[in-house]
Amino acid sequence: MVILFKILALKDYILDIENDRNPFEEKKSAIAQWKRRAYVDIEETESLIETANRLVKTGIRAKDALHVAAAIADKADAFVTTDDKLLGKLANNGEIRAVNPIELAGEINERTH
C-alpha cells in the first residue's frame, strides 16, 4: 500500500507585509526564497477579513488571525505553527486544526511506516 501526503505551502499577503518590514536581511531573504516555492497564494477578501476579525475577538493577535484566516479560506487541513500560545487559542476553534511542525512530522511518520 502506498500512502501519499500532499503538503502545500500557503503564502498570504500579510506575509509580504511582514517580510518587507523585517530588519534582518538573512531572514528576509530566506522567507523570500520560501515564498517563491509556495504553491498557493492567498489574497485578501472580505470573507477572509471577517474570519480574521472573528479570530481577533477570541484573543488571537491581528497578524496571526490573518494567517489563520487565509488557511481557513483555502480550506487547509491544518495550520502549522511553532507559536504555543496560538496553538492553545486555536485548540478548540472548530474551523481549522492547528499543529506544530514536530507533531505533524510525527503523524506523517506514523502513517508512512
What 3-state class would DSSP assign to 12?
Answer: strand
Asked which of 3-12, 67-76, 97-106 is least confident by mean pLDDT, the reply is 3-12
Task: Examine residue 85 and state whether it is found in any structural domain, yes or no.
Answer: yes
Please identify which residue in the block is written with the cell numbers 472573528: 54
Task: Examine residue 68 and state whether it is found in any structural domain, yes or no.
Answer: yes
Structural domain including 50 reads 10-112
Render pLDDT for 95-110 as a digit per residue (tens, 0 to 9): 999 998 888 888 877 8
Find the CATH number of the domain harbouring 94: 3.40.50
Three cell numbers at 10?
500557503
Would you give the DSSP letter of residue 82?
S
Threshold 0.75, pTM exceeds:
no
Task: Examine residue 34 and state whether it is found in any structural domain, yes or no.
Answer: yes
Rounded CA separation 77/89 (Å): 17
Task: Examine residue 22 and state whether it is found in any structural domain, yes or no.
Answer: yes
The total of structural domains in the chain comes to: 1
